[in-house]
Amino acid sequence: MGGSRFARCTSLLAGLLCLMGPLLVWGQNDTEPIVLEGKCLVVCDSTPTTEPAGNALGMSVRSGSGRIAFSAVRNNNHEPSEMSNRTMTIYFDQVLVNVGSHFDPARSVFLAPRKGVYSFSFNVVKVYNRQTIQVSLVMNGWPVISAFAGDQDVTREAATNAGLVTMERGDKAYLKLERGNLMGGWKYSTFSGFLVFPL
């Protein structure tokens, strides 16, 4: 029933667009207008919320409610706190972006609000040579992506990595120092993530 209603709405929208004369439409990111002259189109948003079963057109109902993104940095060059020494969690003291407020700055943990594919990236810098660090992106207590920095002759070397993971609603992701001592800051160390698409 939902699929037939969607098909009727799609047909109605396509018919209206075909009957109209020149039409001014804004791009997906509200950047530049596109002038349409008697063309038939189908317009979709970029964030799906439901996927109708058996849709021959391969289209989906979309809305803008799925915007989820965060980015945080270590602003100061500070020694690890007593908490981070105990848990080995890497804390970030300045949040640059927190769309949806799903990144907890106090614990530096991201909590997935819905099932989906998420993209994460991190760049953690050590400040001393003759030091080796290993950092992992941890999801629900298990490392899923790791990075290593161990050049004994390099002072500010970065352990960096990125990847996609599938998360269920309520899953937690954070960075953990698996090896070494992290004392770097100065905005070189970053942790970012966003929802690529829901499932």
Is 0.85 surpassed by the pTM of this model? Answer: no
Report residue 19 as tokens. 């009957």
CA–CA separation, 40 and 38 (whole Å):
7
* Residue ranges of domains in the chain, CATH in brackets: 69-194 (2.60.120.40)
Percent of the chain with pLDDT over 70: 57
CA distances 155 to 96, 151, 189, Å, are: 26, 8, 14
Asked whether residue 166 carries a pLDDT value surpassing 50, the answer given is yes
Q: Is residue 64 pLDDT above 70, yes or no?
A: no
Higher local confidence (pLDDT), 122 or 57:
122
What integer best gives the mean pLDDT of the chain?
Answer: 73
Nearest to 156 by CA among 126, 130, 122: 126
In the chain, the N- to C-terminal Cα span, in Å, equals 21
**pLDDT for the residue 83:** 55
- Please write the tens of the pLDDT for every residue from 12-40: 444 444 444 444 444 444 445 444 444 44
Burial of 30 (0-12, 13-18, 19+ CB in 10 A): exposed
